[in-house]
Amino acid sequence: MNVKLFIFLLITGFLVFLTSCMSRGNLFDLANDTLDPDIKLSVPGGGFIGETEVFVPRKETFTINDIGDKDLQINGLAIIHGDITQFDLDVSTIVSLLEPGDSTSFDIIFKPT
């Protein structure tokens, strides 16, 4: 599986889980749940990094869209799987509270060694 696609899936899963848990205050009440807000994560190039030279960093910008009808609270993002030493996560431009229809972006920098 492509590293970038895997990161996309991890971030999406984390955001869905975090949003669902925060909306009801109970980590275990997730069965038969309707998730609000709805989240769309835009991934450049469909998650494919392409050819990248060793020691040449490559930055990709990801966009999180709140396409639902509730506010989205973003408490943090993390790269939690794989060789995390080869990635930097730049969240300096991210907005922590998205209202319905809003979006925010963050960068992942791949530094192959």
Q: What is the pLDDT of residue 32?
A: 45
Q: What is the pLDDT of residue 92?
A: 93
**DSSP per residue, 48-95:** ------TT--EEEEEEEEE-SSS-EE-------SS-GGGEEEE-TT--
CA gap 45, 55 in Å, rounded = 21
- Identify how many contiguous H helices and E strands the chain contains and give both numbers: 1, 6
Where in the sequence is the domain holding 104, given as residue range(s)? Answer: 3-110
Element (H, E) at 104: strand 103-110
pLDDT, tens digit, 9 for 90 and up, residues 69-91: 889 999 888 888 878 898 899 99
Number of domains composing the chain: 1
pLDDT, tens digit, 9 for 90 and up, residues 13-67: 555 555 554 554 544 444 444 456 788 888 877 766 667 788 888 888 899 999 9
Considering only CA atoms, which of 86, 109, 98 is closest in space to residue 41?
98
